[in-house]
Amino acid sequence: MEAKPTHIAQEIKLKVLRLIAQKEQLLEQIQLLIQENNALKSEIQQQKNTIETLQTQNKIVKLAEILPSTDDDKQELKKQLNVYIKQIDECIRLLSE
For 58, the domain range is 1-66
pTM, rounded to two decimals: 0.54
70: left (phi over 0), alpha (psi -120 to 50) or beta: beta
Question: Are residues 45 and 17 part of one domain?
Answer: yes
Instruction: Write the pLDDT tens digit of every residue in 55-86.
Output: 998 888 777 777 766 777 778 878 888 888 98
Number of folded domains that form the chain: 2
- Residue 73 shares a structural domain with residue 62: no
- Residue 31 scores a pLDDT above 60: yes
Q: Say if residues 68 and 74 touch (Cβ distance below 8 Å).
A: yes
